[in-house]
Chains A and B, each alone.
Chain A
Amino acid sequence: MALAKIERVTGRAVHVPGEDIDTDRIIPARYLKCVTFDGLGEHLFKDVRFGQDGSKSDHPLNDPKYAGATILVAGRNFGCGSSREHAPQSIAKYGFKAMIAESFAEIFFGNSTALGLPCVSLKRAELDELAARVTRDPQTVVTVDLAAGVVRVGDERTLPFEMKPGAQEALQHGSWDPIGQLLEGKEQIRKVAASLPYIEPR
């Protein structure tokens, strides 16, 4: 399978404030009643963006200033809770191509990487600076540069990010979806399985 090499993502960014934002908040459970991932984008952050009567809250994703942003800026422990892949799927289907936060929950990070959606972490002070900048000036062009390991903000700021090296490489080399590599090892898999005490030979 030929996968895209994701070396950098450039676009405008929107800051969704808050810490420990869980995947129930990203996509409420009632939208998990589906057998495909289609159409999840429109329900992203549903219950914090809309009141029960359908009225719009002051959530940044409702603000036309940030329409078209492709980089999501969040806080600490983003994507905690349920392992639902529906969460990064809804983020990707909404139009985001990368996420920047102080930190990400582990399962969410893995799910996002497997979709080709880079999640990079900035130090708190620099994250706050980035968040303030894109909120003040939504036209700011932000680049997540995986090859260089930095986030570029406008023309003037370069902030080093952190990311699991394996994920960073996999995205750049177009091997972020492991299925191809796993399939290549089928012979080896059978050998290992046969050697395990709890798998009866068949």
Chain B
Amino acid sequence: ETQLLIGLHLIHEVTSPQAFGMLRDLGLEVMMPERTFATVDHIIPTDDRKRPFQDNLAEGMVKALKDACQEFGITFFDVESGKQGIVHIIGPELGLTQPGITVACGDSHTSTHGAFGAIAMGIGTTQVRDVLATQCLALARLKVRRVEVNGKLGPGVYAKDIILHVIRKLGVFGGTGYAYEYAGTAIEALTMEERMTLCNMSIEGGARVGYVNPDETTFAYMKGRPYAPQGEAWDKALTYWRSIASDADAMYDDVVRFDAEEIAPTVTWGINPGQAISVKERVPTAEDAPNESERSLVQEALDYMKLPGGKPIEGTPIQVAFIGSCTNGRLSDFREVARLLKGKKVAPSVRALAVPGSMDVARAAEAEGLDQVFRDAGFEWREPGCSMCLAMNPDKLVGAELCASSSNRNFKGRQGSATGRTILMSPVMVAAAAVRGVIADARDVFAL
């Protein structure tokens, strides 16, 4: 194992209080408090955010984090700071996430930050302690798989569809031991926010790290961010950032290639993100599976999802629509949906939630009047947080409700009900499902 210095450490209320407890037990200090930043996202309510929160346990967690930040001298982006939001949204938007640095956070979707050409990974709480105390992790080197996507995405096909497609093809375990470096013309054409969506879900394919080479798109996004270098430091940074991109003749442990034209709007049908099909396909049957263990996996998923195998997924009634999360809770997500949703209504049978990923995203969207478009269509427009992505706050599915969701996990019980069901898709596909009341092809609904 090597000892890896961590350039940026992000913490939130769920996985860090215990780490501070460990520090206190061992009588240790935080070695570089200026390299750790905290926020609150997982448990925060998205409607009434007045303190103390109605939920005592949630209140206790936020208080524990705030106290720890004060005690150890760590910057805390709480609601009062105006910068609160999902940890993987605020890091980039504040310019904390930068090319060429290492990023760690007690959260598996830390892979998001790799979109900037950073090496970013999720860690456990004991490792959060290690980073706090020593700014380092003990880590074995990862192999690198180049995941190349070439060509042009069709209308109605987004970064979310690319990553769902990649995970479907490479499997939820396929990336274990690897970092995924995304490349190819389709990836180069993506905006920073789209690259974040892509890298975000690397972990759902088993890869702890997702990465895109930094380029002019990256630098344009960085420029002027609060924590981005300025003046002379900016010029120096640019030289450094340009120097770290992989060379054209770099060697990889593995290379896989996909054709962007072959990727359709993709939805999950099962209980892990690899159980995905294009919206025009039929749900698989257990009999289609190649062997006994796969058969039982398919059957388990069909039973849980209450979906009949062999039938089209289109037309499956939904009860809840959720747009948000660290995968798809950024300004461009809300802009694109608002553009298409204008003048349309959410079906009466559907409860629809739009939850911006950060206070910055929320305020920017509101300044453009996007919130009104969502409200007019019948969405609830909420305050920022993880919300129904994992439902540690009051936003939960009830019973066996089926949710069309722009989040990243469709595990059993993920959205707050032990029998609740999730179908993952792009935000535009969620909007299409919300409007029709059933899983629908956004290309048809919005004439794309």
A residues contacting B by CB (< 8 A) are 1, 18-20, 22, 24-25, 28-30, 32-37, 47-48, 52, 75-77, 80-85, 88, 103, 105-107, 110-111, 114-115, 164, 166, 177-179, 181-183, 185-186, 189, 192-193, 196-199, 202
Contact = CB atoms under 8 A, between A and B. Distances in A.
A105 B173 CA distance: 7
Given A82-B108, A111-B124, A199-B7, A52 B418 contact: yes
A182 B240 contact: no
Nearest to A84: B15
Given A80-B206, A178-B130, A189-B135, A107 B108 contact: yes
Contact of A182 (B42, B123, B134, B176): B134
B374 to A, nearest CB: 26
12 contacts: A22-B409, A22-B411, A24-B414, A35-B61, A85-B125, A106-B206, A110-B123, A166-B140, A189-B5, A189-B135, A197-B240, A198-B98
A9 B339 CA distance: 60
B413 A107 contact: no
B124 A77 contact: no
Contacts of A189: 3, 5, 31, 134-136
Contacts, number: 174
B127 interface: yes
A33 B413 CA distance: 16
B123 A107 contact: yes
Contact of A83 (B32, B64, B122, B297): B122
Interface of B: 1, 3, 5, 7, 14-15, 17-18, 21, 26, 28, 31-32, 34-35, 42-43, 55, 57-58, 60-61, 64, 98, 100-101, 106-108, 122-127, 129-130, 133-136, 138, 140, 172-173, 176-177, 203-204, 206, 208, 236-237, 240, 272, 293, 297, 300, 390-392, 409, 411-414, 416, 418-419
A13 to B, nearest CB: 20
A185 B28 CA distance: 15
Nearest to A1: B26
Contacts of A30: 392, 416
Nearest to A88: B124
A114 B127 contact: yes
A198 B134 contact: no
Interface of A is mostly: loop
Most buried by A among B138, B203, B272: B138
A164 B140 CA distance: 9
B11 to A, nearest CB: 12
A33 B18 contact: no
A198 B100 contact: yes
B126 A77 contact: no
A120 to B, nearest CB: 15
Nearest to B412: A25
B256 to A, nearest CB: 19
Contacts of B21: 35-36
A166 B32 CA distance: 28
A75 B292 CA distance: 13
B176 A29 contact: no
Most buried by A among B5, B133, B177: B5
Nearest to B98: A198
B236 A197 contact: yes
A30 B416 CA distance: 8
Given A196-B7, A197-B237, A25 B413 contact: yes
B133 A28 contact: no
Contacts of B108: 81-83, 107
A29 B134 CA distance: 29
A186 B107 contact: no
Contacts of A82: 107-108, 390, 409
Given A177-B126, A182-B134, A105 B1 contact: no
Contacts of A111: 124-127
A83 B5 contact: no
B64 A33 contact: no
Nearest to B60: A35
A40 B106 CA distance: 18
A179 B176 contact: no
Nearest to B176: A106
